[in-house]
């Protein structure tokens, strides 16, 4: 189901930009707060991070049109084709400032948008201990993940109004129609639109019950055994397995996001207010970036070690990751997968790997990151590129379709926005998107958070399980701590009745 555009051809007007005082227009959180609970208000947030990819904040509201799809309702639809059609209806930008967002689509493609890209049917359940038995022949135990979160699989707004904040150059810009920004009273029009009266009395966010995981530790270990049976059977080389945490909550998810942002400082963070809920992303990972000239970059993450409070131990963890042959092998599998994905739409012989096995450090973990680049023949091919590469290989495994089928059979619930992509696509084809990891979904007064990792034959089940907690150690415990002052007793997080947190997620 989707909301179609109201216009049939591009509006003859153009978009332009005006620079405004950075000292007054640099605090993205303060700007966004007055309309944070407005449907289709969205923030792409560099989170004041010192990371090399942290530069711009982009704020949008009041889209020209919206596009939402649910695969269960429209399995035969062509959402990527309609995305291109809607982009063609957004006014063109002819301002003088080189901005990352110049009018176009902004929002998310959930993981299950991949069902419009590939045919995904659940693989038969693997026999967990008998690696000699091919899981493909155990057809009596086929299982399909449950879709229990009401958010759409695709939610995109198409925007002509935006604030772009460049924290490197310390400059701020307003994007809008020429008819508004080239008038004598443009500053007043900007103030009227972007500085609405903010009602006071935002309700405090807190959890009303403890986090619960959809897998116990024993469940997770069993599924790793099942994955290894698939690996031994030759069905795949690597599978990304995730567990999901869920807790009921009350109060402002925007307040929760601000606390999470402060603790994580991730360069591809985002807060999206869509009609059925909210998305709170603290992602460290870029999926696809494409320039207005068609230059493409993707930066898959595969390989993780926890940060340590002790600097010496922290350096040891980093060195261990850098020297890990297992993590390098996992990373290389995904690099090869993405080289193939990019080659489907990029010019022949243009795909290359300028950086292999770099270390990037974040608040909670160190990551092993590689960079792959390519060149499109036509910048407008970026939508086709997204479709060809979606979902990102770093969160599926390889080969991708086989991995997604196995994920469908092993994970109890579908992933919703998690492991999809959040970002923007301009009307000229340029785009920047994240991989929606470290990402939470708020829907029907429940908050969902996921964590996973790549499983290969020499994976240690206990270490892989622990890694999932390392990845959310600045998310799950932090939101639990926000309960203080609202409950007489602290919440005890559990995974199927077992402790969740403690030394694992502190």
Task: List for the chain the helix, strand, coil content (%; round to 5).
Answer: 30, 30, 40
To the query of whether residue 373 is one of the catalytic residues in this protein, the response is no
Per residue in 46-76, pLDDT (tens digit) is: 987 778 888 999 999 999 999 999 999 999 9
Question: Has residue 11 got a pLDDT over 60?
Answer: no
7 vs 434: which has the higher pLDDT:
434
* Residues 101/431, Cβ–Cβ less than 8 Å: no
| Domain definitions of the chain by residue range | 15-294+376-485
Spatial separation of the C-alpha atoms in residues 119 and 114, rounded to whole Å: 8
42 vs 130: which has the higher pLDDT:
42
Looking at the chain, the whole-number percentage of residues with pLDDT higher than 90 is: 83
* Residues 332/318, Cβ–Cβ less than 8 Å: no
pLDDT band at 173 (very low <50, low <70, confident <90, very high): very high
Q: What is the mean pLDDT of the chain?
A: 90
Question: Has residue 129 got a pLDDT over 50?
Answer: no
* Residues 429/457, Cβ–Cβ less than 8 Å: no
* Residues 82/311, Cβ–Cβ less than 8 Å: no
Question: Has residue 302 got a pLDDT over 70?
Answer: yes
Spatial separation of the C-alpha atoms in residues 31 and 451, rounded to whole Å: 31
What's the rounded mean pLDDT across residues 400-421?
Answer: 96
| 372 beta partners | 298
Of 115, 120, 42, 106, the closest CA to residue 79 belongs to: 115
To the query of whether residue 408 is one of the catalytic residues in this protein, the response is no
CATH number of 15-294+376-485: 3.60.120.10
Q: Virtual CA dihedral for 125, 131, 133, 136, nearest 10 degrees?
A: 40
What's the rounded mean pLDDT across residues 325-332?
Answer: 93
Question: Has residue 374 got a pLDDT over 50?
Answer: yes
Catalytic choice (228, 299, 302, 400): 302
Catalytic choice (217, 228, 285, 467): 285
pLDDT of residue 131: 40
Model pTM? 0.92
Question: Has residue 358 got a pLDDT over 60?
Answer: yes
pLDDT band at 145 (very low <50, low <70, confident <90, very high): confident
37 vs 8: which has the higher pLDDT:
37
pLDDT of residue 133: 41
């Amino acid at each position: 189901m989707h909301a179609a555009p109201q216009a049939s051809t591009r509006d003859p007007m153009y978009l332009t930009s005006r620079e405004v005082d950075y000292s007054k227009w640099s605090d993205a959180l303060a700007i966004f707060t007055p309309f944070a609970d407005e449907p289709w208000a969205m923030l792409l947030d560099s989170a004041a991070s010192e990371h090399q990819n942290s530069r711009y904040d982009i704020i949008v509201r009041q889209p020209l049109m919206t596009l939402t799809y649910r695969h269960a309702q429209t399995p035969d639809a062509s959402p990527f084709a309609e995305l291109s059609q809607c982009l063609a209806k957004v006014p063109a930008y002819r301002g003088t400032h080189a901005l990352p967002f110049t009018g176009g689509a902004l929002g998310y493609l959930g993981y299950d948008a991949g069902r419009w890209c590939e045919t995904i049917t659940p693989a038969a359940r693997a026999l967990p201990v008998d690696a000699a038995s091919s899981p493909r022949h155990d057809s009596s135990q086929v299982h399909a993940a449950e879709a229990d979160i009401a958010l759409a699989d695709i939610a995109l707004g198409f925007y002509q109004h935006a604030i772009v904040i460049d924290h490197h150059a310390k400059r701020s810009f307003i994007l809008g129609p020429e008819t508004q920004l080239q008038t004598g009273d443009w500053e007043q029009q900007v103030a009227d639109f972007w500085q609405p009266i903010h009602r006071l009395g935002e309700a405090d966010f807190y959890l009303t019950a403890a986090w619960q995981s959809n897998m116990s530790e024993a469940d997770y270990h069993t599924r790793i055994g099942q994955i290894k049976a698939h690996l031994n059977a030759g069905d795949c080389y690597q599978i990304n397995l995730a567990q999901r945490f869920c807790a009921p909550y009350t109060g402002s998810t925007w307040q929760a996001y601000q606390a999470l942002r402060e603790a994580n400082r991730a360069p591809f963070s985002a807060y999206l207010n869509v009609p059925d809920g909210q998305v709170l992303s603290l992602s460290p990972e870029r999926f696809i970036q494409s320039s207005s000239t068609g230059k493409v970059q993707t930066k898959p993450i595969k390989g993780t070690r926890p940060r340590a409070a002790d600097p010496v131990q922290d350096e040891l963890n980093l060195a261990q990751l850098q020297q890990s042959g297992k993590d390098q092998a996992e990373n290389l599998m995904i690099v090869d997968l993405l080289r193939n994905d990019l080659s489907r739409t990029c010019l022949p012989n243009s795909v290359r790997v300028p950086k292999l096995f770099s270390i990037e450090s974040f608040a909670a973990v160190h990551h092993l990151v590689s960079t792959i680049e390519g060149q499109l023949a036509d910048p407008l091919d970026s939508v086709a590129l997204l479709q060809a590469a979606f979902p990102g290989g770093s969160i599926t495994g390889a080969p991708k379709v086989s991995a997604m089928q196995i994920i469908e059979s092993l994970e109890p619930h579908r992933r919703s926005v998690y492991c999809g992509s959040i970002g923007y696509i301009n009307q000229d084809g340029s785009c920047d998107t994240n991989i929606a990891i470290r990402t939470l979904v708020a829907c029907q007064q429940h908050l969902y958070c996921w964590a996973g990792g790549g499983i290969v034959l020499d994976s240690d089940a206990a270490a892989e399980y622990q890694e999932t907690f390392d990845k959310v150690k600045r998310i799950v415990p932090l939101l639990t701590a926000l309960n203080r002052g609202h409950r007489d007793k602290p919440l005890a997080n559990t995974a199927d009745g077992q402790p969740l947190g403690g030394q694992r997620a502190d």
